[in-house]
Amino acid sequence: MPPKNKKKTQETQHTDSKKSTPETKKPTSSSTNSDKKASTNEKQWSDPTFNDSELTMSQLKDMIKTLATEVYKKSYEELKEDMEEEVEWRVTAQCEELEETVEKLKKEISSIKEEREKMKKDIFSIKEEREKMKKEISSIKEEKEALKIESTKLKRMVERCEYKLASKVTKIQDLQIKLDEVEQKHLERDLQLVGVPEIDEGQETEEEEMKTIVKLVQEKMNITLKNNSIEKIHRLGRRRDDKPRDIVVRFRTNIIRNKLFRNRKMTVNNADSSKNVYINDHLTEFRRNVFYAARQLVKKKTVFAAWSQQGNILIRITENDQPIHVRSHRQLAEMKLIDNMIRDNIEDSDDEDDEY
Return the axis-axis angle of helices 32-46 and 57-186, rounded to nearest 10°. 110
Burial class (CB in 10 A: 0-12, 13-18, 19+), 102: exposed
**Assigned CATH topology for domain 190-282:** Alpha-Beta Plaits (3.30.70)
Dist CA 233 CA 204 (whole Å): 11
Query: Looking at the DSSP assignment, which residues form a beta bridge with residue 249?
Result: 191, 233
User: Is the CB of residue 318 less than 8 Å from the CB of residue 325?
Assistant: no
Dist CA 339 CA 17 (whole Å): 143
Judged against a pLDDT cut of 70, whether residue 102 lies above it is answered with: yes
CA neighbor of 172 nearest in space, from 160, 183, 180: 180
Average pLDDT, the chain: 79
- Whole-number Cα distances in Å, 71 to 55, 67, 83, 307, 340: 22, 6, 18, 149, 129
Dist CA 354 CA 243 (whole Å): 11
Dist CA 63 CA 51 (whole Å): 14
Give the DSSP per-residue string, 312-327. EEEEESSTTSPPEEE-
Q: Which residue has the higher pLDDT, 123 or 199?
A: 123
Backbone conformation region of residue 178, classed left if phi is above 0, alpha if psi is from -120 to 50, else beta: alpha
User: Is the CB of residue 283 less than 8 Å from the CB of residue 225?
Assistant: no
pLDDT at 273: 61
pTM of the model: 0.53
Largest CA distance in the chain: 198
Backbone conformation region of residue 290, classed left if phi is above 0, alpha if psi is from -120 to 50, else beta: alpha
Q: Which of 80-89, 257-266, 283-292 has the highest mean pLDDT?
A: 283-292
Lowest mean pLDDT: which of 8-22, 126-140, 185-199, 212-226? 8-22
Rg, C-alpha atoms of the chain: 69
What are the strands, taking DSSP E only, across 153-210?
A: 190-194
129, amino acid identity: E
Distance of CA 39 to the CA centre of its chain: 111
* Span 156-207, pLDDT tens digits: 999 999 999 988 888 998 899 999 999 999 999 999 998 888 887 777 788 8
Q: Which residue has the higher pLDDT, 280 or 21?
A: 280
- Whole-number Cα distances in Å, 141 to 132, 135, 144, 145: 14, 10, 5, 6
Judged against a pLDDT cut of 80, whether residue 248 lies above it is answered with: yes
Read off the DSSP letter of residue 308: E
Domain with CATH 3.30.70.1820 in the chain: 190-282
For the beta carbon of residue 274, count every other beta carbon within 10 angstroms.
Answer: 7
Dist CA 201 CA 241 (whole Å): 11
Dist CA 221 CA 218 (whole Å): 6
* Span 292-341, pLDDT tens digits: 999 999 999 999 999 999 899 999 999 999 999 999 988 888 888 776 44
pLDDT at 351: 40
Which stretches within 27-56 are classed as H helix? 32-46
CA neighbor of 313 nearest in space, from 284, 333, 334: 284
